[in-house]
Amino acid sequence: MAVVTMRQLLESGVHFGHQTRRWNPKMKRFIFTERNGIYIIDLQQSLSYIDRSFEFVKATVARGGQILFVGTKKQAQAAIAEQSTRVGMPYVNQRWLGGMLTNFQTINKRLQRLKELEEIDFDDVAGSDRTKKELLGMRREMAKLERSLGGIRDMGRVPAAVWVIDTNKEHLAIDEAKKLGIPVVAVLDTNCDPDDVDYPIPGNDDAIRSVTLLTRVIADAVAEGLMARSGVRTGEEPSGAEVGADEPMAEWERELLGGEAGAAVDAATSGQPAAVAADGSAAVAVNGTADAPGDRPAASAEAEAVAAEALGASVADVTGQTEASTAAAPSDAPQMGADPAAEVEAEVDSDSEVESATAEADSSTAV
């Protein structure tokens, strides 16, 4: 699916080029026709080049690179600042200072100076140990640095790629990027040189709507690259197994399930009694001791259901055998759980019977 449609390009005026007398012959392959003395750019090629640049920017950001947005002409200043800030990328929308890329060490020192000035409270004259004149000079210095370097305040290293609006105006930035081998993605109007750009996008670099649309597309590519870097899927096919009901069981769950089922079968064949834990999980007694639920990992609901189903038959058999043995036992066997008072009365009656029998024997002997 294209990241931008033909209708959006037409409505934004991306197809309008410069006058026929102001053109670069190298751009001939990107020109569709000429109308009223103005070249018309082939938007079909623009769409393919937009998709190519989009994928490059997305892959670059996904690998951890930064994209520097550059556009100092008035038509591009607002769009450059807005879209780059939206995705957290550095930008330059004021005058390009020579050496921003090739002499980044010096630029980085000025960035540190800017951060130091931002920590000063210029309203607290008494507590700053500085005169008003010194504070005024430092305030002006901070404003100048903020205007020139505020967009690259958080750029700790040279960017991985540069997005440029109007290659003719930003020729210094392109020259520095070429010296350092930094890829350049740029809008190419009919008066530009395509040899200076690695990822060209044929289009109108003078109309505000055109510049805003193309810059937003690049910012969207940066956003998708950031999401890919953080592991969030962006609509593509999932790279791994979904976490859910279809997720395969862990090894310990399979071992637990197999162990419980096997123990249940052994208990059923050997006649060994089985114990059922209070929480509903089945545990087979080994040497008279049942496995406590806390002594093993907690099984899943499916594992417990299968184990309980496997143990159902053996528990029923054991219960039936117990009831049968209880019914077959003699009636004079001592009953567990009988009333203690009744047992005492029974013992007293038996003692009285013994005493009466002894008395009768004594009387017969005396006669």
| pLDDT tens digits, one per residue of 44-58 | 999 999 999 999 999
Of the candidates 60, 208, 68, the one whose C-alpha atom is nearest the C-alpha of residue 151 is: 68
Cα→Cα distances 113→120, 122, 138, 155, Å: 11, 16, 11, 14
Antiparallel, parallel or unpaired: β 161-164 and 274-276 = unpaired
pLDDT level of residue 224 (50, 70, 90 thresholds): very high
Residues 112 and 104 sit within 8 Å (Cβ to Cβ): no
Residue 366 confidence (pLDDT) above 90:
no
Rounded distance, CA 15 to CA 273, Å? 86
Which residue ranges does the chain devote to CATH 3.40.50.10490?
6-101+158-229
How open is the CA angle 233-237-243, to the nearest 5 degrees?
70
* Rounded Cα gap, residues 355 and 335, in angstroms: 27
What predicted TM-score, i.e. pTM, was given to this entire model? Answer: 0.61
Distance between CA atoms of residues 159 and 170, nearest Å? 16
Q: Which amino acid is at 204?
A: N
Residue 138 burial by Cβ neighbours in a 10 Å radius (0-12, 13-18, 19+): middle
* Contacts by 106-111, CB closer than 8 A, 24 or more apart: 107/149, 107/152, 108/156, 110/145, 110/149, 111/149, 111/152, 111/153, 111/155
pLDDT digits 0-9 by tens, 110-132: 999 998 888 887 777 766 777 88
Cα–Cα distance for residue pair 299/305, rounded to 1 Å: 10
pLDDT surpassing 60 at residue 28: yes
* CATH class, 6-101+158-229 region: alpha beta
Asked if 251 and 231 count as a contact pair (C-beta separation under 8 A), the reply is no
